[in-house]
Amino acid sequence: MPELPEVETVCRGLSAVMTGERLALVQNHRANLRIALPDGFAARLTGRRVQKLERRAKYILARLDDGLIWLIHLGMSGRMSILPKGHNQPPLSKHDHVVFEMGSGVQVRFNDARRFGLMTFIEGDPDQHPLLKDIGPEPLGGDFTGPVLAAALKGKKTPIKSALLDQTVVAGIGNIYACEALYRAAISPKRSSHLVQGERADKLVAAVKDVLREAIAVGGSTLRDHKQPSGELGYFQHHFAAYDREGGICQVCAAAKHPKSPLIKRMVQAGRSTFYCAVHQR
DNA sequence: ACGAGAACCTGTTTGC
DNA sequence: TGCAAACAGGTTCTCG
């Protein structure tokens, strides 16, 4: 489900109720997520105070007061929900795999129907952890520039759409924002990666940053699973120009008064749907 | 070494 | 209506 903007939204939501709070009670109702929960998962978290929550790529890292890092990935369908303090908590639903009770009385539930998500612990430097060590630059950071992207794409023959999904090229982009960024940058998703250099790379970097910032500002995109931890939906799906808009008119071409008024097309690349305009994306 | 495709798992939508 | 196939925001393994 979640790409960078959705994970960022979840991270901020959790941060509001977890930062500085103690994990008073942790219960896991199902241990076989994508990676089995580590031995003693609940026991190692219980009693710990959460010092800080941060996002890296599509991961959430929670720093605990004993130095341990609690690593969370939401996979495709993972969701965190916050239930305010109260005695009328709704019953656990089928895929509520882990429940966290904070010292404040607030409850946080991790729900993940498809179980592609994971939770584990990192001891020591998170940048050296196998799940994180090969991940590329954060797209919203100063390290992600046109020349940096161009260098990462040099010699790559895979289509640029697939390269954007490659977390070693750039962190946090998934299927929605890869489509949207290419659409905005007017680059064909089929274009061979090594041909995205110079000005094209600059343009793509700018498009990636813009679309991610805009999406974060409205709480990410809700297609089916994503909710902000508060329960509120994301709203960026209303701003999609390409993703999930097969057959819709291309607004870029319409604005340019293109005589053919082209429609958004859908194709499959590396097993994932790509939505694009075959006219203005070259 | 690289890239494409399958696999992981469940739920929902689409098509015959 | 009913059932099967296709599809879904991700990652990782296998195979050619």
Nucleotide lying nearest to A271, CA to C1' measure = B5
Angstrom distance, A223 CA to B13 C1': 13
pLDDT, position A27: 96
Distance between CA atoms of residues A243 and A54, nearest Å: 28
A152 membership: H or E segment, kind and range: helix A146-153
Which two tokens mark A180? Answer: 């949207």
Distance between CA atoms of residues A265 and A250, nearest Å: 9
pLDDT, position A1: 65
The most distant pair of C-alpha atoms in chain A lies apart, rounded to whole Å, by: 65
Q: Which of residues 196-225 of A touch strand C (CB under 7 A)?
A: 220-225
Query: Is the minimum distance from the CB of A159 to strand B below 7 Å?
Result: yes
In the sheet with A96-102, reading across from the earlier edge strand, the strands are A23-28, A96-102, A107-112, A78-83
Q: Is A3 a catalytic residue?
A: yes
pLDDT, position A224: 79
pLDDT, position A229: 85
Residue carrying structure tokens 């607030």:
A106
pLDDT, position A258: 84
Alpha-carbon separation of residue A187 from A147, A190, A204, A207, A276 (angstroms): 17, 8, 8, 10, 9
- pTM more than 0.75: yes
- Residue A134 · residue A127 · CB < 8 Å: no
Pairing of strands A265-269, A23-28: unpaired
pLDDT, position A261: 87
Average pLDDT of chain A to the nearest whole number: 95
pLDDT, position A38: 95
- Residue A33 · residue A39 · CB < 8 Å: no
Which two tokens mark A18? Answer: 């977890």
pLDDT, position A65: 98
Q: Is A260 a catalytic residue?
A: no
Q: Give the residues of chain A that fall short of pLDDT 50.
A: none
Residue carrying structure tokens 């291309």:
A250
pLDDT, position A160: 97
Alpha-carbon separation of residue A62 from A14, A117, A173, A188 (angstroms): 10, 16, 21, 38
Task: Give the end-to-end CA distance of chain A in Å, rounded to a whole number.
Answer: 28
DSSP A29: S
pLDDT, position A231: 86
Q: What pLDDT digit, counting tens, does each position of A78-120 carry?
A: 999 999 988 788 999 999 999 999 999 999 999 999 999 999 9
Domains, chain A, ordered by start: 4-128 (3.20.190.10), 146-276 (1.10.8.50)
pLDDT, position A228: 83
Residue carrying structure tokens 């808009």:
A245
Nucleotide lying nearest to A220, CA to C1' measure = C9
